[in-house]
Structure 1
Amino acid sequence: MSQPDNQQHTVVVIPTYNERENLLVVCQQVLQATDGRVHILVVDDNSPDGTGDLADELAVQHPQIHVLHRERKEGLGRAYVAGFKQALDMGYRLIAQMDADLSHDPRDLPALIQHTAYADVVIGSRYVPGGDVSNWSRQRFWLSFCANQYVKWITHIPVRDATGGYRCWRREVLEAIGLDTIRSNGYAFQIEMAYRAYRHGFHIQEIPIVFTERRAGRSKLSKRVIWEAIWLPWKLRFSRVHNPSVTRHNPVPPV
Structure 2
Amino acid sequence: MDKNTAVIVPSYRESEKNIKALVLKIKNILPDSLTIIIDDSPKKEAHKIKSLLKNYKNVKIIFRFKKLGRGSAVMEGFKEAFKNKNIKYFFEIDSDLAHNPSQMPRFLNKIMTGKCDVVIGSRYIEGGKTINIVLSRIILSRIINLFLRFWLNIKLSDFTGGFRMYNRKSTEFLCKSKIRSNGFITLSETLFLLDKNGFRVTEVPITVSVKKEGKSNVDIKELFRSLFFVLSIRFNRFIN
Tell me the TM-score normalized by structure 2.
0.91
* Partner deviation per Cα, 1:187-240 (whole Å, 9 max, x = no partner): 311100111111110001100001111110111111122113322332221334
Q: Structure 1 residues 49 and 158, CA, compared in 2 at 3 Å: closer, same or farther? A: farther
Percent sequence identity over aligned pairs: 27
- 1:22 alignment partner in structure 2: 18
Alpha-carbon shift at residue 136 of structure 1 (Å): 1.3
Take 1:210 and 1:109, find their aligned partners in 2: how far apart are those partners? 12
Q: Secondary structure at the match of 1:186?
A: coil
Q: 2:109 aligns with which of 114, 117, 127?
A: 114
Verify the 8 A CA contact 1:29 1:106 in the aligned structure 2: yes
Take 2:89 and 2:12, find their aligned partners in 1: how far apart are those partners? 24
Alpha-carbon shift at residue 119 of structure 1 (Å): 1.2
Verify the 8 A CA contact 1:185 1:225 in the aligned structure 2: no
Whether 1:96 and 2:85 are equivalent positions in the alignment is no
Aligned residues: 235
Q: CA RMSD in A?
A: 1.9
Q: 1:222 aligns with which of 205, 219, 223?
A: 219
Alpha-carbon shift at residue 180 of structure 1 (Å): 5.4
- 2:201 alignment partner in structure 1: 204
Q: State how 1:186-201 maps to structure 2 within 5 Å.
A: 186-201=183-198
* Partner deviation per Cα, 1:11-70 (whole Å, 9 max, x = no partner): 110011222231111000111122x032210111144563x3344321222222111121
Structure 2 letter corresponding to 1:226? L
Q: Structure 1 residues 177 and 190, CA, compared in 2 at 3 Å: closer, same or farther? A: same
For structure 1, list consecutive stretches of 5 or more residues without a partner in the other structure: 242-255
Q: Structure 1 residues 177 and 27, CA, compared in 2 at 3 Å: closer, same or farther? A: closer
- 1:10 alignment partner in structure 2: 5
Structure 2 letter corresponding to 1:106? P
Verify the 8 A CA contact 1:33 1:106 in the aligned structure 2: yes
Verify the 8 A CA contact 1:162 1:190 in the aligned structure 2: yes
Verify the 8 A CA contact 1:18 1:48 in the aligned structure 2: no
Verify the 8 A CA contact 1:77 1:183 in the aligned structure 2: no
* Partner deviation per Cα, 1:144-185 (whole Å, 9 max, x = no partner): 011000001111012100111000011211222455521223
Tell which deviates more after alignment, 213-222 or 86-95.
86-95
Q: 2:40 aligns with which of 38, 42, 45?
A: 45
Whether 1:65 and 2:59 are equivalent positions in the alignment is yes
Take 1:58 and 1:203, find their aligned partners in 2: how far apart are those partners? 35
Take 1:139 and 1:55, find their aligned partners in 2: how far apart are those partners? 33
* Partner deviation per Cα, 1:98-150 (whole Å, 9 max, x = no partner): 01110001101122122112310001100010101111111111100110000
Q: Secondary structure at the match of 2:185?
A: helix
For structure 2, list consecutive stretches of 5 or more residues without a partner in the other structure: none
- 1:33 alignment partner in structure 2: 29
